[in-house]
Amino acid sequence: MAVTDYGVVARLCSRASTMTTNDYVLGTHDEEVARLQLQHRVWRPQVLDAFRRAGSRSGQTLLDIGCGPGDVSQDLAEIAGVSGRVLAIDKSRRFLDLLDLRTRERRLTQLSSLELDLDRDALPDLAIDGAWCRWVMSFMARPRDLVVQVAARLRRGGVLVVHEYFDYATWRTAPPCPEVEEFVRAVMRTWRESGGEPDLGLMLPHWLGELGFDVRDVRPIVEATRPGEPKWDWLAAFVESGRRRMASLGVMSPERAAAISAAVERLAADPTTLMMTPGVLEIVAVRNQRGAARGIWIRRPFCSTMSVFRPRA
Q: Is residue 150 at the binding interface for ligand SAM, with CB under 6 A as the rule?
A: no
- Tell me the per-residue interface mask from 269 to 298 with ligand SAM, x by CB under 6 A, - otherwise: ------------------------------
> Which segments within 127-187 are labelled E, that is strand?
128-134, 154-167, 172-174
- Give, for 282, the enclosing helix (H) or strand (E): strand 279-287
Calculate ∠ Cα 270-272-273, nearest 5°: 75
Nearest approach, Cβ of residue 259 and ligand SAM (Å): 25
Q: Is residue 208 part of the contact set for ligand SAM (CB under 6 A)? A: no
- Tell me whether residue 135 or residue 183 sits nearer to ligand SAM (CB atom): 135
Residue pair 251/141 in contact (Cβ under 8 Å)? The answer is no
Rounded to a whole number of angstroms, the minimum distance from the CB of residue 137 to ligand SAM is 8
- HEC string of 79-114 equals HHCCCCEEEEEECCHHHHHHHHHHHHHCCCCCEEEE
Tell how far CA 63 is from the center of its chain: 12
Are the CB atoms for 213 and 291 separated by under 8 Å?
yes
One symbol per residue from 17 to 56: x for binding ligand SAM (CB under 6 A), - otherwise; what is it? -------x-----------x--xx----------------
CB of 89 to ligand SAM, least distance (A): 7
* Alpha-carbon dihedral sign for residues 76, 95, 222, 140: negative
Q: Which is nearer to ligand SAM, 55 or 301 (CB)?
A: 301
Binding to ligand SAM by residue 134, rule CB under 6 A?
Answer: yes
Q: Of 54-62, 86-94, 236-244, 279-287, which part binds ligand SAM (CB under 6 A)?
A: 86-94
Which residue's CB is nearer to ligand SAM, number 117 or number 270?
117
DSSP state of 136: -
Contact 235, 279 (CB under 8 A): no
Indicate the residue among 61 and 113 with the shorter CB distance to ligand SAM: 113
Residues near ligand SAM (CB under 6 A): 24, 36, 39-40, 66-68, 90-92, 95, 116-119, 134-136, 139-140
